[in-house]
Amino acid sequence: MARVAVYITPKAGILDPQGVTIERALPALGFQGVSEVRVGRYITLEIDGVEGDELNAQVESMCRRLLANPIIEDFFVEIVDDREYPHESCGGSEEVIVGEETTPREAGEHAGSPWTAADPYASGQEQSGSEAEGNEDFEKGKEGVITPEDKPPRKAGEHAGSPWTATDPFAAGKEEVDKENREAGKE
């Protein structure tokens, strides 16, 4: 069995609006001199029954055909054989530590951070910890769990009468971002 890690990043020259937004946000937290922030995707998987060149070829093929879109993304693959690296060591303990460090820090700093109100991704994070946040953020967190039935009246302006807002779980997720964007931008 092989464990495979695939790193996918936007190609050089491709606009990465998430990266740009994060880059602008970091100075607000006091991190200076940060540039070239690029947001990608990290996929792990296990493959049984193939090894060596065949394994490499198979992973590259799945990257080209599905995991990445070569028109806009680069990918980088790491293959780790379980016989050499038992399960326990895979992933590395460093990542866990980073996660533990960031969780409490975020809770404190996000509360008063000037950009949380406007950033759709920031509000996504707050959903998990909304109860600990201040009033304004708590309101946002609540919106994240509003049921689809509540959507049509709120969307009266742009989606009135649309048959799908009430039933589509994916649309609900999108609309939440949409609404927050509009709130932040126009209202």
Interface with another protein (CB under 8 A): 14-15, 17-18, 21, 66-67, 69, 71-72, 120, 158-159, 163-164, 168-171, 174-175, 177-178, 181, 185
Q: Which residues contact 6 (CB under 8 A, 6 or more apart)?
A: 42, 43, 44, 45, 59, 63, 67, 68, 75, 76, 77, 78
To another protein, the closest distance from the beta carbon of 170 in angstroms equals 4
Measured from the CB atom, the residue of 66 and 156 that comes closer to another protein is 66
Measured from the CB atom, the residue of 4 and 67 that comes closer to another protein is 67
To another protein, the closest distance from the beta carbon of 132 in angstroms equals 26
To another protein, the closest distance from the beta carbon of 181 in angstroms equals 5
Measured from the CB atom, the residue of 120 and 129 that comes closer to another protein is 120
Q: Where are the beta strands (DSSP E) in the chain?
A: 2-10, 41-47, 73-81
Measured from the CB atom, the residue of 18 and 138 that comes closer to another protein is 18
Element (H, E) at 106: helix 93-112
Which among 108, 113, 98, 112 is positioned nearest to 27, based on CA atoms? 113
